Amino acid sequence: MTEFSFPGAGAPIGGPYPSGRITANYPRNQWWIVATGNEISREPLQRWVLDLPVVLYRREDGTPVALDDRCPHRWAPLSKGWLEGDELVCGYHGLRFAPEGNCIKIPTQAAVPSKACVHAYPLIERGPFVWIWTGDPARSGESQPPAVDWIEQPGWSVLGGYMEVECNYMLLKENVLDLTHFGYVHRKTFKILDFTRAPEVKVDGKEVEFRIEFPPTRLAPIFGATTGFGEKPVARVNWGRSLSPALHVAGQDFADGNAEPGQRSTAAFRVLHATTPVSPTRMHYFWMAGWDLPLTEQQRDKMLETTLAGFAEDKDMLEAIQVQMTRDPRGLAYPEIMVNSDQSSVQARWQLRRQLDQEESQ
């Protein structure tokens, strides 16, 4: 075990925290996935992100809109109202808001004061996801939601889903940054039992990447079946990359050195894990998985079934950890040790710590 000395040791979710309490550890000047595009329609939708209520809807031209879901008159959730054209009508007393957040009508008076407005959150729709900027709108151009090209690439088979998980979002980040948990948490579902070494870890700007090569081995059943390699020994590279607090992408690249002519010799598998805080102890989890090859309906169903079973195992474990952090009076003051396979998590904590410090000093 390397002994890491870094801020956040003993405080795994971006600490240190006074008196061992869990507090908000999410940067605000950040793009987060707020919804999948098909969730947002002409029916206003409420979604809490980073402790804030947000109302989401689409303009008539389809552009998504996100406003503070709290009328500045009597604090009704605007999501209980309805649309008239591109404007949102409060369902309590009828104040009407433009997609830019400014109030444009107060039923019982002619004048509309400029302070009658709600915050309008910058949004970007990219592929199946809609991203929200939760910080100062003036800074929203400083970064961009990352492009994840395989999601919409021709020839790729993709599937995805959503879960609310009752834990701090960094617990899930750390879960996907250390895949040695496969042999324990998922030993009966994904059945990847050889992820037992600490991978190489590389830091590139704000990104943290791990990578590990496996010599030709018989693949776990779900991968053998989906790739068509079956029980043949196939080499693979397994990697993961935290792009930001909001997004992690990962993959496996398979290569069969003994493929017959005309047979497939490689295959690529990708996963996306998007982690959006709801509160310090709750998160939205959006995920997608993709193959660079066609899947039969049966293969797809099997893939989805296994993935959902595996992610339910993660959810169960992470929520149990959150209970310990919350209910055990030692909370975040409980001893925490770092091991070899934590190098990527530790680097991601460092990145988060820097981002939070920077935000605080602005």
The smaller minimum CB distance to its own copies, of residues 77 and 221, is found at 77
Q: Minimal distance in Å, beta carbon 147 to its own copies? A: 31
Strand order in the sheet with 266-279: 157-165, 282-291, 266-279, 247-255, 233-244, 207-218, 200-204
Q: Minimal distance in Å, beta carbon 342 to its own copies? A: 8
Q: Minimal distance in Å, beta carbon 52 to its own copies? A: 7
Q: How far apart are CA 108 and CA 111, in angstroms?
A: 9
The smaller minimum CB distance to its own copies, of residues 48 and 214, is found at 48
Region for residue 127 given its phi and psi (left: phi exceeds 0; alpha: psi -120 to 50; beta: otherwise): left
SS3 assignment, position 204: strand
CA–CA distances in Å: residue 44 to residues 91, 126, 234: 11, 20, 49
Q: Minimal distance in Å, beta carbon 298 to its own copies? A: 31
> What are the residues binding its own copies (CB under 8 A)?
1, 3, 12, 48, 51-53, 69-70, 72-77, 80-81, 89-95, 106-109, 111-113, 115-116, 174, 178, 180-181, 183-185, 196-198, 317, 320-321, 323-325, 327-329, 334-341
Q: How far apart are CA 139 and CA 134, in angstroms?
A: 10
The smaller minimum CB distance to its own copies, of residues 44 and 290, is found at 44
Count of other CB atoms within 10 angstroms of residue 79: 21
The smaller minimum CB distance to its own copies, of residues 51 and 142, is found at 51
Q: Minimal distance in Å, beta carbon 45 to its own copies? A: 14
Q: Which residue has the tokens 């009076």?
A: 329
The smaller minimum CB distance to its own copies, of residues 159 and 185, is found at 185
